[in-house]
Amino acid sequence: MNMNAVVVQVRPFGDAMYDSDYFPWSVYASGTQGKDPGYDPLEYMVKAAHARGLQLHAWLNPYRITNNTTDYTTLSADNPARIWLEDNDTSNDRNVLSYDGKLYYNPAVPEVRELILNGVTEIAERYEVDGIHFDDYFYPSLGSNYKTNFDYLEYNSYQKKAADGDEVMDIADWRRNNVNILIHDIYAAIKEIDDTVEFGISPGGYIDYLSEDTRFYVDYETWMSEPGYIDYICPQIYWSFSHSKYPFDTTLNRWLSCERAPGVKVYVGIAAYKAGMKTEESDWYKDSDVLRNQVLYGRENGVDGFLFFRYAYFYNSTTQEGIERLLDILGEEN
Does residue 77 fall inside a structural domain? no
Does residue 71 fall inside a structural domain? no
Does residue 300 fall inside a structural domain? yes
The CATH number of the domain holding residue 155 is 3.20.20.80
Give, for all 334 residues of the chain, the pLDDT tens digit: 999 999 999 999 999 999 999 999 999 999 999 999 999 999 999 999 999 999 999 999 999 999 999 999 999 999 999 999 999 999 999 999 999 999 999 999 999 999 999 999 999 999 999 999 999 999 999 999 999 999 999 999 999 998 777 899 999 999 999 999 999 999 999 999 999 999 999 999 999 999 999 999 999 999 999 999 999 999 999 999 999 999 999 999 999 999 999 999 999 999 999 999 998 889 999 999 999 999 999 999 999 999 999 999 999 999 999 999 999 998 775 4
Does residue 73 fall inside a structural domain? no
Q: Output the pLDDT for position 307.
A: 98
Q: In this structure, what DSSP letter does residue 207 have?
A: H
Minimal CA–CA distance to 27: which of 67, 56, 86, 71? 67
Domain count, the chain: 1
Does residue 262 fall inside a structural domain? yes
Q: Output the pLDDT for position 334.
A: 47
Does residue 98 fall inside a structural domain? no
Q: In this structure, what DSSP letter does residue 167 have?
A: P
Does residue 241 fall inside a structural domain? yes
How many Cα atoms are found within 13 Å in the side-chain-facing hemisphere of 241?
15
Instruction: Give Cβ neighbours of residue 225 (< 8 Å, ≥ 6 apart).
Output: 258, 259, 260, 261
Range of the domain at 311: 5-66+108-330
Q: What global pTM score does this model have?
A: 0.96
Q: How many other CB atoms are found less than 10 A from the CB of residue 309?
A: 17
What is the DSSP track for 1-49?
----EEEEEEESSS-BSS--SSSPBPHHHHSSTT---SS-HHHHHHHHH
Task: Say whether 253 sits in a helix, a strand or coil.
Answer: helix
Give the phi and the psi of residue 122 in degrees, each rounded to 5: -65, -30
Task: Say whether 215 sits in a helix, a strand or coil.
Answer: strand
The answer to whether 209 and 216 are in contact (CB under 8 A) is: yes
Does residue 284 fall inside a structural domain? yes
Q: Output the pLDDT for position 76.
A: 98
